A and B are shown apart, each in its own frame.
Chain A
Amino acid sequence: MFWNRSFKRLANSAFQDLTRNVWLNMATVVIIVIALFTVSVSLVIDAVGKYTLQSFQNKIDISIQFRDNAGEEKILDLKKDLESMPEVRSVIYVSKDQALEEFKAAHAGEEYISQSIEELGENPLFAVLNVKTQSLDQYAAVDSYVKGNENYQSVIKKVDYKENEAVINSFSTALGNVRRGINALTFLFVAISILIAFNTIRLAMYSHRVEIEIMRLVGASNWYIKMPFIIEGAIFGIIGCAATLLFTYLLSASLSVRIEQIFPGFYLYDYFLGNFWTIGAVLLLIGVGMGIASSFIAIRRYLKG
């Protein structure tokens, strides 16, 4: 009963105070919005990065070329072995004849190529298994398995992983660096925003110094003094989160087409709506955390002894 009564009074005090120092309170909310917007940009960049990586990954595979003497049964055995590996996403078999048909179809308009093939008289292409893995860093495992398996050494002509490896590793490293860089920047932005929000809240608390002093002298506990400011900090966080979500929604709606032109297939607006609750939860947690942390740190200097 005591705690209910006290909490009601403290919450009332917090809400009343929101209507005083309006401009100062708005400044605090703006700082929180800037920090949260940085977080939401970071989330979007992360999503775009993952999408780009996936698209890139879809285009990359390991091609295993087989000698002319390789029987189809052996090739299909290897296909089955590879499909049973957890790292492997898909294995597509292209026979010699199929390879030739695909080649002719791809170069249908080029007469000299068609003529060259006819003059050769035989199919110069090879049967191939095209292997895609779950992630970029798993190609090495597949490459090692194929090359280390004695059953198939006699029929494999070439595994072209090595040519792709450098590209795969470069892209993977670059993407990892970009994501780490974005995360570091976001962390820095949030830390700076906490400092600025803290200073803004401290300014507001300065206007309460007489009240805080009186509360201490008439026997208010430290928690009784802190709570209204902590509640206010949480309210700033909630308002900041709502404002950021609205701003991000409007921005995603207006920029979605442009973003899709740069990253084909990635629809920013759909991504935002599809992940609205997750993004909202993350922003709310960070926003309320920032508001409460800033208030908590700011009030401490007024609570000596």
Chain B
Amino acid sequence: MILFDNVSKQYSENGAALHDINFEIREGEFVSIVGQSGAGKSTLLKMIFAEERPTAGKIYIKGRDITQIRDNKLPVLRRHIGVVFQDFKLLDKKTVFENVAFAMEVSGKSDREIEMDVPQVLDIVGLGEKVGRYPHELSGGEKQRVSIARALVHRPDIIVADEPTGNLDMVNTWDIVQLLSKINQYGTTVILATHNHEIVNLLNKRVITIDNGRIAKDQLDKGKYII
């Protein structure tokens, strides 16, 4: 599904974010990317949805080299990848329904498709009763659920979550992680960047450890948070 082949990212002569990254993620896997702040986790994730391009190496998604992708093809790629951020990135002046519908509108879906799909996705994330609420009326955990719903609504092959629980308390953190697990069980590949060792240890899934821009360890199964 995702292949990083000798990928490096250099921002300046003295500032390399990633060095010689090599790994493969199979379809349906749940992978945690762990490391200290500044290790390169976010840069690695941004390369998956082509927000950053590598300085060297290649990245393949479903067999397609995305490092050569033209700018006008990026929107199509991004509709197959759902992205969840630590700061939610919701639109304050749109309701829960509208925030999720937004993602479908940009790809030209009809109003009928939007009316059908958005409530279904909101049910999956447990916000079926709050479609008319605005972001400021939601808790942190609920806002992140809206963000996950928006990421899910295109039925993506991959969900990339960059520190999705960074602004949440422990209870909400675990709720979000369980939601991501549930999505993974339906067959979606999930890549979670986090520095929360408790979550990683409890998940018991594959763990890739990044240290100073390099892969320090790749625990293919029942991985633990080791720095």
Contacts and interface: CB of A to CB of B under 8 A. Distances in A.
Interface of A: 2, 5-6, 9, 20, 210-211, 213-222, 224, 305
Nearest to B111: A5
A221 B150 CA distance: 17
Contact of A213 (B89, B102, B107, B111): B89
A224 B74 contact: no
B191 interface: no
Contacts of B79: 218-219
B89 A219 contact: no
Contact of A305 (B51, B103, B110, B111): B51
Nearest to B104: A218
B108 A215 contact: no
Interface string B124-160: 0000000000000000000000000010001000000
Contacts of B74: 305
B171 interface: no
A251 B76 CA distance: 54
Interface centre among B72, B93, B108 (most CB of A within 10 A): B108
Given A210-B89, A214-B102, A218-B103, A6 B108 contact: yes
Contacts of B77: 219
B83 A217 contact: yes
A220 to B, nearest CB: 4
Interface in B40-94: 49-51, 53, 71-72, 74-79, 83, 89, 91, 93
B50 A220 contact: no
B110 to A, nearest CB: 7
11 contacts: A210-B89, A214-B91, A215-B106, A217-B51, A217-B78, A217-B83, A219-B79, A219-B106, A219-B154, A222-B71, A224-B106
B71 A218 contact: no
B71 A219 contact: no
A5 B110 contact: yes
Given A211-B91, A217-B89, 15 more contacts: A2-B108, A210-B91, A216-B75, A217-B49, A217-B51, A218-B79, A218-B83, A218-B102, A218-B106, A222-B71, A222-B72, A224-B106, A305-B51, A305-B53, A305-B71
Contacts of B72: 221-222
A138 to B, nearest CB: 57
Contacts of A221: 72, 75, 106
Which of the four size classes fits the interface of chain B? 20 to 34
A5 B103 CA distance: 15
B27 interface: no
Interface string B87-122: 001010100000000110111101100000000000
Contacts of A20: 93
Interface centre among A5, A6, A215, A218 (most CB of B within 10 A): A218
Nearest to A13: B105
Contacts of B53: 305
A216 B103 CA distance: 10
A222 B74 CA distance: 10
A210 to B, nearest CB: 7
B110 A218 contact: no
Interface centre among B51, B53, B76 (most CB of A within 10 A): B51
A214 B76 contact: no
Nearest to A224: B106
Nearest to B80: A219
A305 B50 contact: yes
Contacts of A211: 91
Interface centre among A2, A217, A220, A305 (most CB of B within 10 A): A217
B155 to A, nearest CB: 13
Given A214-B91, A217-B49, A5 B75 contact: no
Interface in B159-174: none
Contact of B105 (A9, A210, A216, A217): A9
Contacts of B76: 219
A220 B50 CA distance: 14
